[in-house]
Amino acid sequence: MQRRTVSLWFPRLASDRALRQHPLGCAQTTAEPPFALTLRESNTERLYCLSGQAQHLGLMQGMTLSDARALRPDLITRPATPELDQQFLRALARWAGRYCPWVGVEGRDGLVLDVSGSTHLFGGESEMLADMRMRLTRAGIAARIGLADSRGAAWALAHFDEGVAAPGDPLPTLRPLPVAALRLDGPTCVALERLGLRTIGDLHDTPRAPLSRRFGNGVLMRLDQALGVQGEPLTPLPDPPRYGVRLTLPEPIGLSADVMAGLARLLDGLCDRLRAQDMGARVLQLTLRRVDQASQQVELRLARAMNDPAVILPLFERGVSAVEAGYGIDQLRLGAPRVEALPPAQIQSAIRQSEEEGVASLITKLGTRIGLENVQRFLPADSHIPERAHILAAAAFSEPAEKWPRPAALPPRPLRLFAPEPIGGRATGPGREPPPQFRWRGMRLERVHVEGPERLTPEWWLPSEAWQNGVRDYWRVETRQGRRLWMYHTPQNPGWFVQGEFA
């Protein structure tokens, strides 16, 4: 059987992905604006990937963003995310599996398919290529396609002259292509062109011995690979690992203790596989099949990735106890649909490790009752506004802050912070310093010492109803009654408020 290889090249993979995820939203009557993704290199923003319209207007990859904006002020840019581009490329590889079982990744923006023996399923080679192009165009993905006997010839056609090379003899099709189509590096291509060897045909007609002496075996190897004289392996993408174990019982069981005993055996096997690949489970699903073929599922969402069966097993007790066994359970299946990498970490003390596992177990137990998203922790935020100096994050999906940063020049902040409370009484002060006497929370207070003011202005890029009155002048006030308050005054709308209390 004649081997046939398809090369798919996506010249605008990154920009096509970004536009599919977040379209520009321009009206149909207006012209499409130029669009590009930018990536910072050596402290300079450069164009990383351009849309078709941006390329048509003369912008080029690698151009600095400042030069691009000087040429096209209407250029729309977004930051590039190469890791998302690679995920998208792997998704395209899974899609390409509809044409053949052997699909591999070619660089950072291409795929290679071994379609030997599968083209007849689509009516022939031309019909299969037309189907590929139609589906990719409908999805908004620009692609160039090459088909030949060898991987090198298919790559050359996809990148330099879309087409199909005749089976058995790709040289006539490859002859007019430049030597860069052989996947040679830039300096080698320049050196060959200086010798007058500009095309693959020129290179093929040149005696091999002088080429080998001057350029080594690399140039001739690439030529032979393109012509199919020397084989080139195609390594398909491996299937993602699946973590699941199953236990079929000779007799049905119905007691929670028996189910937990079977689950313990399954956890040992599953955790061994996870540890072998330095992975940890974040979600575990226990499926219990009854003798009447009905199934019940117990899902456990963990606060952090774990692969220790002794820690995980007790967390299943609440879910297992709620299972209706019916006439008995004859099969248990345990799977980990969501896993995370657990790279080797530095050895830590047993006390600290047990504390971290204990906190994670507590968060997991609470999360099974009220949901992991509802178990939250405070994390520091980069803001000088008191009420915005922290955020709430799910404890299961965040790490605790080792230290809450505070600039040394910033005055102390109160330990207790609450919503602003206006002070009562007729003595409101002149507005420059806190009033000498005032009422707060039903108490009559008299100041003895003040420090301030500290003026805070609202963040204009984050609108907030609480800061409609503009700037605030904060004071630290000590009272004769022992209260140490954090008060502020609003000059625009004169009034005094208490927002915090020092310890």
Q: What is the pLDDT of residues 373-406, one digit of tens each?
A: 788 888 888 777 777 777 888 887 777 877 777 6
**Can you name the residues that pair with 97 across neighbouring β-strands?**
none
- Of residues 43 and 126, the one with the higher pLDDT is 126
The answer to whether the beta carbons of residues 164 and 148 sit under 8 Å apart is yes
pLDDT band at 302 (very low <50, low <70, confident <90, very high): confident
pLDDT band at 26 (very low <50, low <70, confident <90, very high): low
CA distance to 37, 413, 447, 452, per residue, from 481 (Å) = 61, 21, 9, 20
Q: What is the mean pLDDT of the chain?
A: 87
pLDDT band at 346 (very low <50, low <70, confident <90, very high): low
- Residue 415: how many other CB atoms lie within 10 Å: 11
Dihedral sign from CA coordinates of 383, 386, 388, 392: positive
pLDDT of residue 428: 47
Least confident of 133-142, 172-181, 308-317: 308-317
pLDDT surpassing 60 at residue 425: no
Percent of the chain's residues with pLDDT above 70: 92
Contacts with 186 (C-beta within 8 Å, 6 or more apart), sequence order: none
Residue with tokens 């004071």: 475
Taking CB atoms within 8 Å and a gap of at least 24, the contacts of 450-455 are 450/475, 450/476, 450/477, 450/478, 451/411, 451/475, 451/476, 452/476, 453/489, 454/411
Q: Which amino acid is at 62?
A: G
Residue 11's SS3 state is coil
User: What average pLDDT does the segment 26-55 reach?
Assistant: 83
The answer to whether the beta carbons of residues 435 and 429 sit under 8 Å apart is yes
pLDDT of residue 352: 56
The answer to whether the beta carbons of residues 329 and 288 sit under 8 Å apart is yes
List the one residue out of 461, 453, 441 whose CA is nearest residue 388.
461
pLDDT surpassing 90 at residue 203: yes
User: What average pLDDT does the segment 340-356 reach?
Assistant: 64
- Of residues 294 and 1, the one with the higher pLDDT is 294
User: What average pLDDT does the segment 140-164 reach?
Assistant: 93
Residue 352's SS3 state is helix
List the one residue out of 487, 475, 473 whose CA is nearest residue 439.
487
pLDDT band at 86 (very low <50, low <70, confident <90, very high): very high
User: pLDDT digit string (tens) for 53-66?
Assistant: 999 989 999 999 99
- Of residues 432 and 30, the one with the higher pLDDT is 432
Least confident of 14-18, 280-284, 345-349, 362-366: 345-349
pLDDT band at 29 (very low <50, low <70, confident <90, very high): very low
State the DSSP code for 388.
Answer: G
Least confident of 31-45, 63-77, 340-354: 340-354
Residue with tokens 């890029």: 461
Least confident of 73-77, 107-111, 312-316, 361-365: 361-365
CA distance to 62, 80, 109, 213, 377, per residue, from 41 (Å) = 10, 12, 20, 38, 36
Q: Which of 229-238, 256-265, 364-373, 418-427 is predicted most confidently?
A: 256-265
Residue with tokens 């080139």: 232
C-alpha gyration radius of the chain: 34
User: pLDDT digit string (tens) for 243-301?
Assistant: 999 999 999 998 999 999 999 999 999 999 999 988 999 999 999 999 998 999 999 98
pLDDT of residue 495: 82
Burial class (CB in 10 A: 0-12, 13-18, 19+), 28: exposed
